[in-house]
C-alpha cells in the first residue's frame, strides 16, 4: 500500500482537461510544499513534470499545472493530447531537517480516449 | 546534456549481493544529492536511498535499511548501491536520479535486478 493515494485511472478526450489528485497526511503533503509529479511512458524512465507542488521545469508544456491544498496535491493537464497517455506519479518529501525520506503515490494511468 | 547511466543489474539468488553503479555526466556531480528509486514489475515507484552531495549523510527506506548501502565517489562522478541479503521482493528496475529542490530532474534509463532461485 502506497503512502500517498491517487486514483488508479483517469481518462479524457483530446482537448479536454483532467485532474489527478494525490492525498497524503500532515506528515508529508500537508507539512511540505515539496510535492513533485512524474510522467512515465511504458518501458521508459520517469520524467519530472512538476516540482515544489506548482513549479514547471524548463521544457515542460504549460498545459501541465500543479497545486496543493492541505493534505492533497493535484496535477491538471489541459488540452489533452494523445502523447499525454502515460502513468503519473506524485511524490512528497516526508522527512525532517536531518532525515531525508520521500513517499510516492501508487500511480494513475491516464487514458486519452 | 545531463545524463545518468546505470549498470550492475542482473540475476542473483535470494541472500546474494549485487552492486549497482550510476555514472553521471554533463553536470557537476559533487554539487548534488543523488537518489536510487526502484520499480517492481507492474508496480509503482518506490524511494530506496539517498545521499547528500558530499556523501557524508545517507538515508534508506525501511524496506532496505540494514541491507542496502548507498555511497558515491565524487572523483569518478559515480553513485553506488550495495545490495546485500537480497530478497525476491527486491526484484525491480533500479533508477538513479539527480535531486533538485527535493525532486528528481534527471533519471537514468534503469538497470534490472532479478532475485530468484
| A interface with B, Cβ–Cβ below 8 Å | 2, 32, 34, 36, 38, 40, 45-48, 51-52, 55, 57, 89, 91, 93, 95, 99-107
Q: Hey, how many other C-beta atoms are within 10 angstroms of the C-beta on B5?
A: 14
Question: Under an 8 A CB cutoff, do A48 and B105 touch?
Answer: yes
pLDDT of B9: 97
| Angle at alpha carbon of residue A11, lines to A55 and A76, rounded to 5° | 15
Beta-strand (E) ranges in B61-110? 68-73, 78-83, 92-100, 103-107
Q: Summarize pLDDT for A12-38 with one digit per residue, the tens.
A: 999 999 999 999 999 899 997 899 999
Nearest CA in chain A to B41: A43
pLDDT of A33: 85
Cβ contacts (< 8 Å) between A102 and chain B: which residues? Answer: 35, 47, 50, 102
pLDDT of A83: 97
Q: Summarize pLDDT for A33-91 with one digit per residue, the tens.
A: 899 999 999 999 999 999 999 999 999 999 999 999 999 999 999 999 999 999 999 99
Question: Under an 8 A CB cutoff, do B47 and A89 touch?
Answer: no
Nearest CA in chain A to B58: A100
pLDDT of A3: 86
Q: pLDDT band at residue A1, thresholds of 50, 70 and 90? A: low
Residues 6+ apart with CB under 8 A from B58: B49, B50, B51, B52, B69, B70, B71
d(CA A68, CA A80): 21
Cell numbers linked to A81: 493530447
A25: burial class by Cβ within 10 Å (0-12, 13-18, 19+)?
middle
Q: Dihedral angle at the C-alpha atoms of A74, A71, B51, B114, nearest 10 degrees? A: -70
The 3-state DSSP class for residue B43 equals coil
Render each residue's pLDDT in chain B as its tens digit; 117 residues. 999 999 999 999 999 999 999 999 999 999 999 999 999 999 999 999 999 999 999 999 999 999 999 999 999 999 999 999 999 999 999 999 999 998 999 999 999 999 999
pLDDT of A98: 81
List C-alpha distances in Å: A107 to A35, A38, B9, B32, B77: 14, 9, 25, 27, 31
Closest CA to B78 of B36, B117, B113: B36
Whether the per-residue pLDDT at A2 is higher than 70: the answer is no
CB contact at 8 A, A50 and B102: no
HSE toward the beta carbon, residue B93, CA cutoff 13 A: 17
Cβ contacts (< 8 Å) between B59 and chain A: which residues? Answer: 95, 99-101
Looking at CA atoms only, how far is residue A2 from chain B in angstroms? Answer: 9
From its phi and psi, is residue B6 left (phi > 0), alpha (psi between -120 and 50) or beta?
Answer: beta
Cell numbers linked to A23: 492525498
- In the DSSP assignment, the letter for residue A26 is T
Cell numbers linked to A98: 536531518
Amino acid at each position: 500500500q502506497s503512502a500517498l493515494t491517487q486514483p488508479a485511472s483517469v481518462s479524457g478526450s483530446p482537448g479536454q482537461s483532467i485532474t489527478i489528485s494525490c492525498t497524503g497526511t500532515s506528515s508529508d503533503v500537508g507539512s511540505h510544499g515539496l510535492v513533485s509529479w512524474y510522467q512515465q511512458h511504458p518501458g521508459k524512465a520517469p520524467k519530472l513534470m512538476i516540482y515544489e507542488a506548482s513549479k514547471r521545469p524548463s521544457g515542460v508544456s504549460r498545459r501541465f499545472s500543479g497545486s496543493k491544498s492541505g493534505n492533497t496535491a493535484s496535477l491538471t493537464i489541459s488540452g489533452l493530447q494523445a502523447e499525454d497517455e502515460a502513468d503519473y506519479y506524485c511524490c512528497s518529501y516526508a522527512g525532517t531537517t536531518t532525515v531525508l525520506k520521500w513517499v510516492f503515490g501508487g500511480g494513475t494511468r491516464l487514458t486519452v480516449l | 546534456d545531463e545524463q545518468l547511466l546505470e549498470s550492475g543489474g542482473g540475476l542473483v539468488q535470494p541472500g546474494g549481493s549485487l552492486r549497482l553503479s550510476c555514472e553521471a555526466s554533463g553536470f557537476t556531480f559533487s554539487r548534488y544529492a543523488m537518489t536510487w528509486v526502484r520499480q517492481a514489475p507492474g508496480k509503482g515507484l518506490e524511494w530506496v536511498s539517498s545521499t547528500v552531495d558530499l556523501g557524508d549523510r545517507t538515508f534508506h527506506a525501511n524496506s532496505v535499511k540494514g541491507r542496502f548501502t548507498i555511497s558515491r565517489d565524487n572523483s569518478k562522478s559515480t553513485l553506488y548501491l550495495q545490495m546485500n541479503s537480497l530478497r525476491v521482493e527486491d526484484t525491480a528496475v533500479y533508477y538513479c536520479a539527480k535531486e533538485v529542490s527535493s525532486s528528481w530532474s534527471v533519471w537514468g534509463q534503469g538497470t534490472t535486478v532479478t532475485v530468484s532461485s
